[in-house]
């Protein structure tokens, strides 16, 4: 974090210059290792009209996502809520099923962890050796780096459990990371930039990289160019390296089916089903706030 003397809005220009310097530095680093980047194995999925429909035809695909209401200590609401939605689709058959799971959590509990575990449990019920399972987020320990040891262990335990279940049942599992800030490839090459930024000019639409193994984890990852933005990252159990092309094809097809053509349809729908509306949040908070007003606060605005 960089500090400045003076009021925030007076320092925007200085900060803007800092951001420009940062991007210039990343561009310089990317230029230095462009030859190494170009040597990475990449592949392409060749598509035609209705290609994605043919790829997904008769595939059973499952997507899970969740939403939450945080406890509000400042207004005396000690209870939070979690809602998880699981969408099961059999493509080409018009068959689908939506299931919801809910939980309440006290102010001392970690709601994000509880939601994560609920989403994992929802997918564990679908380990049938046939379905393609989509998780909205990372399956690696990368995102737990800044957490306490206890939290990291709890996340790691759930991740290891579902990875083992996927391997045992040979059920494909895909963690979809729309905006990845991982630096695994970059660090191996010797630069400090995001992998997605590093690969953005290397991958063209419908390209994907080889699957790289994450050290000390039974997980591999790949980057795919599914939209005009920066490449997305998928994370899978290590055994899925043997079906990499099929996995990439399923991901591309799901994305082409989505409303934005750049995000998996099954996760897009699961997200919509899991959302807790503002009206529902207000009802929830009114119920647990007792006689405390939302509008009353000591600090003068």
285 domain-assigned: no
Residue 12 is inside which H or E element, if any? helix 12-32
With 60 as the cut, is the pLDDT of residue 181 above it? yes
Q: Give this prediction's pTM.
A: 0.86
8 domain-assigned: no
Q: Token pair of 285, please?
A: 């908070």
291 domain-assigned: no
288 domain-assigned: no
293 domain-assigned: no
80 domain-assigned: no
pLDDT digits (tens, 9 = 90+) for 125-177: 999 999 999 999 999 877 777 788 888 899 999 999 999 999 999 999 999 99
Residue range 252-269: mean pLDDT, rounded = 94
Using CA atoms, how far apart are residues 124 and 288, in angstroms rounded to an integer? 32
CATH of the domain at 152: 3.30.2170
215 domain-assigned: yes
Measured from the Cβ of residue 184, the count of other Cβ atoms closer than 10 Å reads 16
With 50 as the cut, is the pLDDT of residue 22 above it? yes
pLDDT digits (tens, 9 = 90+) for 201-227: 889 999 999 999 997 889 999 999 998
Q: Token pair of 91, please?
A: 């493509």
Domain tally for the chain? 1
Higher pLDDT among residues 82 and 10, named by residue: 82
Pairing mode, if any, of strands 212-213 and 219-224? antiparallel
pLDDT above 90 as % of the chain: 57
240 domain-assigned: yes
CA 18 from centroid of its chain's CA atoms: 29
CA 299 from centroid of its chain's CA atoms: 37
Identify the weakest region by mean pLDDT among 43-57, 67-81, 145-159.
67-81
* Rg, Å, the chain Cα set: 22
Using CA atoms, how far apart are residues 186 and 26, in angstroms rounded to an integer? 11
Please give the residue range of the domain that contains residue 267: 42-64+85-99+112-277
Using CA atoms, how far apart are residues 237 and 292, in angstroms rounded to an integer? 48
């Amino acid at each position: 974090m960089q500090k400045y003397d003076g009021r925030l809005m007076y320092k925007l220009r200085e900060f803007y210059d800092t951001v420009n310097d940062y991007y210039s530095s990343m561009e310089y680093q990317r230029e230095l290792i462009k030859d190494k980047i170009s040597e990475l194995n990449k592949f392409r999925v060749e598509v035609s009209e209705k290609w994605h429909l043919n790829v997904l035809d008769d595939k059973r695909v499952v997507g899970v996502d969740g939403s939450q209401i945080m406890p509000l200590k400042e207004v005396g609401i000690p209870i939070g809520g979690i809602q998880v939605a699981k969408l099961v689709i059999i493509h080409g058959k018009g068959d689908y099923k939506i299931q919801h799971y809910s939980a309440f959590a006290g102010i001392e509990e970690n709601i994000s962890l509880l939601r994560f575990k609920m989403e994992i449990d929802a997918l564990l019920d679908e380990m049938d050796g046939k379905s393609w399972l989509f998780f909205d987020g990372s399956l690696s320990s990368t995102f737990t780096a800044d957490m306490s040891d206890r939290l990291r262990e709890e996340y790691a335990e759930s991740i290891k459990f579902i990875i083992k279940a996927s391997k045992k049942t040979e059920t494909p599992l895909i963690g979809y990371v729309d905006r990845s800030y991982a630096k695994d490839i970059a660090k191996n090459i010797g630069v400090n930039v995001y992998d997605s930024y590093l690969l953005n000019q290397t991958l063209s639409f419908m390209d994907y990289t080889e699957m790289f193994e994450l050290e000390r984890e039974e997980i591999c990852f790949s980057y795919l160019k599914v939209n005009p933005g920066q490449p997305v990252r998928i994370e899978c159990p290590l055994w899925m390296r043997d079906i990499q092309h099929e996995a990439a094809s399923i991901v591309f097809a799901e994305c082409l089916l989505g409303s934005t053509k750049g995000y998996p349809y099954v996760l897009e729908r699961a997200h919509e089903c899991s959302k807790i509306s503002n009206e529902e949040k207000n009802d929830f908070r009114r119920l647990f706030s007792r006689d405390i007003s939302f509008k009353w606060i000591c600090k003068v605005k």
